[in-house]
Amino acid sequence: MSSLVTVAIPVYNGSHYIAQTIGSAQAQSYPDVEIIVIDDGSTDDTAAVVQACGGDVQYVYQKNQGVSAARNHALHLSQGKYIVFLDADDLWKPGYLDRLVSLLERHPAAAAAYCGYQYIDPQNNLLFQHSTQVVDPAAFYSTIVAGNFIAIDSVLIRKSVLERIGGFNSQFHGTEDTDLLLRLPSQGPVIGISDILVLVRVDPHSLSSISSNPSHMAQDNLRLFQHHFGSPSGDPYLWTSLKRDAYRGYYFWTGVRFLQVNQSQMAAQYIEQAFLTDPQICSRLDTFYELSLAGQPRGTRGDYRTIDLTKSSDTLLTILNRIFHSPVIAPSLSSRETVAYANAYWALGLLAYGQRDLPLCRKHLAQAARLNLRLLLRPALTTTLLKTFLGSTLLNKVTRWRRSFSSHAYTRSF
């Protein structure tokens, strides 16, 4: 006999999408499911829409108390061995419950299991941005500390685990998911699969729109990390590595959020603080690649087709100029200026390469190499630089030929 799964759906004024969300849960082939919708004080016609979805859906209304309280209410009512929290505008692909329940059944010591996800727009069109990241359970906690990569809809959790850790913490309003994920590993391994089985909607009017407000998220993330790691005062070199990772990530991703709403001055302040917290990130290419993508809204990050190369370059270099050309720059940063600019130009070169603007790519990579000659010893840079001399037409032909050859070679080998 299969184990009962509780699907908890908190909703507030979500009548536009809630029927689709419930439908994606009802369409799961897994046989033993209870669906509990907690209406957190909606003033629209959410109740009527939910009640029209069928008798297998439990509808419960409560006075508006916030998403954490709504989820905890569902946890209190649930009868399942496992529980999952599905936001009222997101969707599951077929097989979601089958795959994750099977995963937890095969790993009885695991506290929870997660999968990949992809963003969709209000019309359910797939967007470019997605996550298939899976980390070793031993590294799960430290990875979440540095930056949450998981959508809460993608996590199936043992109810007993949630009861032991007390459910969601209602003092957080925007970072409650990260807080929960930080507490899960204390109860057992958190395991994952890379399959994309969850569709996360990007809509400014959704339940999760609070996460698009960088000032609010900055305040709530600060409360979160103060709660888990203490105050960010003092010398970061004297902190534990986890605390340093936490605040570095806090400052950096807050800066990225401000860039997404075109507040570059605020972004520069937070990014400078990230550099001061951990100057080593100036030596990492991914730091500047993420910053060069920051002008793209959630759901499209990394999509070369929508990148404004000029804007990305101007924004990134303006931020670095504000940080490194400040009259009061910290000594720990002044020594990192050259390597930071070199990595910035390398990142911009990769974006130009992605758009097949080979002359601009060559220009940026050459500038990176001039600033840091050691980059010429990096095959990733030199190979890309050499490819820029092929020209777009020939490069595309070579790329297609390599893909075709790889496909044939794979076929022949089996």
Structure confidence at residue 397 (pLDDT): 61
Q: Are 102 and 184 in contact (CB under 8 A)?
A: no
Q: Are 86 and 25 in contact (CB under 8 A)?
A: yes
Q: Are strands 190-201 and 91-92 parallel, antiparallel or unpaired?
A: antiparallel
- Quick one: pLDDT band at residue 327, thresholds 50, 70, 90? confident
Q: Are 6 and 28 in contact (CB under 8 A)?
A: no
Structure confidence at residue 47 (pLDDT): 96
- Give the model confidence (pLDDT) of 115-133 as tens digits: 999 999 999 999 999 999 9
- Give the model confidence (pLDDT) of 202-235 as tens digits: 986 554 455 568 899 999 999 999 999 999 999 9
- Quick one: pLDDT band at residue 14, thresholds 50, 70, 90? very high
- Quick one: pLDDT band at residue 326, thresholds 50, 70, 90? confident
Integer-rounded Cα radius of gyration of the chain: 23
What distances in angstroms separate CA 66 from CA 107, 139, 153, 173, 392, one per listed residue? 33, 31, 17, 8, 52
Query: What phi and psi values does residue 95 have, to the nearest 5 degrees?
Result: 90, -5
The Cα–Cα gap between 10 and 24 comes to: 15
- Burial (Cβ within 10 Å: 0-12, 13-18, ≥19) of residue 328: exposed
The Cα–Cα gap between 195 and 10 comes to: 25
What distances in angstroms separate CA 114 from CA 84, 101, 110, 367, one per listed residue? 10, 10, 11, 42
| Ranges 6-20, 87-101, 198-212: which has the least confidence | 198-212
| Ranges 77-91, 301-315, 391-405: which has the least confidence | 391-405
Structure confidence at residue 414 (pLDDT): 30
Q: Are strands 57-62 and 33-40 parallel, antiparallel or unpaired?
A: parallel
For the chain, domains (ranges, CATH) are 5-208 (3.90.550.10), 212-398 (no CATH)
- Token reading at 100: 């994750």
Task: Match 């990134």 to its residue by tokens.
Answer: 316
Find how far residue 391's CA is from the centre of its chain. Answer: 35
Q: What number of CA atoms fall less than 13 Å from residue 373's CA on the CB side?
A: 0
Structure confidence at residue 395 (pLDDT): 56
- Quick one: pLDDT band at residue 295, thresholds 50, 70, 90? confident
Instruction: Say if residue 58's pLDDT is above 60.
Output: yes
- Give the model confidence (pLDDT) of 156-179 as tens digits: 999 999 999 999 999 999 999 999
pLDDT, average across residues 64-77: 97
Q: Which of 120, 115, 121, 25 is nearest to 74 (CA)?
A: 25
- Token reading at 180: 């929960």
- Token reading at 122: 């209000």
The Cα–Cα gap between 117 and 381 comes to: 30
The Cα–Cα gap between 230 and 246 comes to: 11
Which has more pLDDT, 213 or 291?
291
Structure confidence at residue 409 (pLDDT): 41
- Give the model confidence (pLDDT) of 240-270 as tens digits: 999 999 999 999 999 999 998 889 899 999 9
Q: Counting runs of H as helices and runs of E as strands, what totals does the chain give?
A: 17, 9
Q: Is 38 left (phi over 0), alpha (psi -120 to 50) or beta?
A: beta
- Token reading at 392: 């777009």
Distant-in-sequence, close-in-space partners of 318: CB < 8 Å, separation ≥ 6: 264, 268
